[in-house]
Structure 1
Amino acid sequence: MSAAIYSITENRASAMDFSEPVYIDELTVGYVRPILQSDMMGFLKPYTDEMWVGIMLGVLSISVSIYIIMQAQRYIAGIHNSMYTINIPHVTGIPWFPTGNSGRVVACTWLLMAFILSCVYRSNLMAMLVSPKVQLPFSSLEELAKTDITLWVPAGSRFHEALTAASPTSTIGRVKKNTFLSANGLQGLKGYQNGQWSLITYKGPLTYTLHRDFSQQVITLIKLPIISFPITQHGYCRFYIMPEGIFKVNLLSLGFPKNSSLKPPVDKIIRNLREFGIIDHLFQKQVSNATECLKPLGYEIERAKKALALQDFYGVFSIYLAGLVLSLASFLLELKRCVHQ
């Protein structure tokens, strides 16, 4: 009888007999959990690129509309119409207001639009700062195939067999270019823990690695002269499991030589343990701390306070600096012109 459980495949079934399924599991991929980082262009994220283009087109169209209306009323608006349109969203002083009913209707419409846009922008920006979102490197095998992340595959596994038989245009076939095949399980686990590659195996063992890693992060020993005891601190999860599994139903069983007399009594024991829920209970008991790492990404961020770093303001500072440079250049040009006059 084998000392470990194996997934039942056609090749293995032809060489040995398998017991009643001890556990039913799915293949999945584990990888380093992304962390929240400062975003230099975060001030642009409240709106999409299409929305920013629409706002710019709106500013341009309103400026042109006011200019046309003022020209029709024989009023020389000059640069006032453009400055009026731009100053409204920035909540700056407005030294000039369009005259006539037509110009005022257009101006008031833009006032209302600018008020709505600014309120939505501030609300979205505040929501992003309070509850930031972190994107997973991949959440399915299709997304993994589009990245350059190395996938460690155990040699002789069910996924290795599927990888060998897959066509180059299939999802599994497209992953093949990034795979690293090895029979050294310890090497695969170390590379996974060091962030060197992603690891494909059954969800149960990956869940156990999450439990072990989380437990090592949160348990600390307090040593006193007479006694030492462990305390639990606020831990964190360094890894995550791909939400979408592969080969959803995998029967994991014990292996026996063909026509072994041990198979019937072992089948009866496994069947009783499974029907009474003892196997599931023992498994959940061994992975109790993994539940924190299996929660949706961003859950622990929502509970924590988001402190703004200096890098979060680099984008705004760069625009402010560009404005200062343009203002200084304009001032120097005006000064030069006045000297020549």
Structure 2
Amino acid sequence: MPGRVCSTVPSPTAVSRLPSASATRLMAGVWLLSALIVSSVYRSNLKAMLILPILRLPFDNMEELLETNIPTYVADGTMLYQEMMASPPDSSLGRLRAQAVTYLDTPRAIRELRLGYHATFASKAIGQSVIHQIFEQTKSCPLYTAKERYWDATSVALAFPKGSSLRPKIDEILRRLAEFGILEHLHQEEIRHMRKCQMDDFTRPSDALRPLDLGDFYGIFSVYVEGLLISLLVFLTEFLLGRRARRVRP
């Protein structure tokens, strides 16, 4: 039989060409590490959105409040109280009379609200201030505000005598403060703990998906920027070392 020449076939490797230079290896390692981090951050964000617990609230609007029959505090003598007493029995405010708790004692109302004795009607500013104060005292968020607004509060104003010369001066000062955002900044500083008690992500309906916002990509963006900076540093180092080597070479 004629003889045959046999040879071994090299097994294929995952990377056919291995980088030989140190800078190239460092750059390849940084790229692989960045890809691993980016994929891990993406999977973590996706998993967090899928396993985020849904907190069911007792009510989130006026109709749900009336269905729960939860006692509701309405300050005695306010516009809301007068409107509730004058509303027809079949209207929303008229039905609220059956579960309304009325007295005029703000500290008591806040204390009983915190203990869960009743819900309460309040303006947005007052509600945020109460949540801020409770978090400052207890480091907890036992309260929430309904998303649907039912009763608009009147604006706060300063009273001046007729023909007062101070009114145009005060109006100009308040206008400038509002235009430069100083009033809003001061208000947000006074309720800074309110942001820690926001529950929008935990109280959304189970059949609604929250769109991704910019904050969800901060981790990916930071890794991407760090990768660019490291790549730029490696490139500059290799470029400078190459120029030095060419100068030294005879």
Which of residues 50, 57, 63 is equivalent to 1:142? Answer: 63
* Alignment match, 2:225: none
By relative contact order (CA 8 Å, sep 6+), the higher-ranking structure is: 1
Q: Name the counterpart of 1:238.
A: 142
**How many aligned positions are there?**
155
- In 1, distance between residues paired with 2:84 and 2:163? 31
Give 1:217's aligned residue: 138
2:192 is the counterpart of 1:271: no
Q: 1:261 to 1:178 in 2, by over 3 A?
A: farther
TM-score (norm 2): 0.55
1:195 matched to 2:116? The reply is yes
For residue 287 of structure 1, what is the aligned residue in structure 2? 191
Paired residue for 2:54?
133
- Cα-Cα RMSD: 2.5
CA separation of 1:173 and 1:287: change in aligned 2, threshold 3 A: same
Give 1:249 shift: 6.2
Task: State the partner residue of 1:77.
Answer: none
**What's the secondary structure of 2:122's corresponding residue?**
strand
> Does the C-alpha gap of structure 1 residues 257 and 185 become closer, same or farther in structure 2, counting only changes over 3 Å?
farther
Matches within 5 A, 1:308-327: none
Q: Choose between structure 1 and 2: higher strand proportion.
A: 1
Structure 2 residue 77 is the aligned partner of structure 1 residue 156: yes
Paired AA for residue 253 in structure 1: A
Q: Residue by residue, what CA displacement relative to the aligned partner does 1:86-145 show, whole Å, maximum 9, x if unpaired?
A: xxxxxxxxxxxxxxxxxxxxxxxxxxxxxxxxxxxxxxxxx9x95442211110011111
SS in 2 for 1:296: coil
Q: CA deviation at 1:239?
A: 0.7
The equivalent of 2:230 in structure 1 is none
Runs of 5+ consecutive residues of structure 2 not aligned to the other structure: 1-47, 204-250
Amino acid at match of 1:268: E
What is the CA deviation profile of residues 209-261 of structure 1, one whole-angstrom value per residue up to 9, with x for unaligned ones? 2122222234xxxxxxxxxxxxxxxxx41111111112346322223455555
Which amino acid is the alignment partner of residue 143 of structure 1?
Answer: E
CA distance in 1, matches of 2:114, 2:122: 14
TM-fit CA distance, 1:298 = 2.3
Q: Which consecutive unaligned segments of at least 5 residues does structure 1 have?
A: 1-126, 219-235, 300-341
Classify the secondary structure of the residue corresponding to 2:120: strand
- The percent identity for this pair of structures is 30
Letter in 2 for 1:159: L
* Alpha-carbon displacement from aligned partner over 1:9-35 (angstroms, at most 9, x marks no partner): xxxxxxxxxxxxxxxxxxxxxxxxxxx
3-state SS in 1 of match to 2:68: coil
| TM-superposed deviation, 1:166 | 1.7
C-alpha displacement of 1:149: 0.9
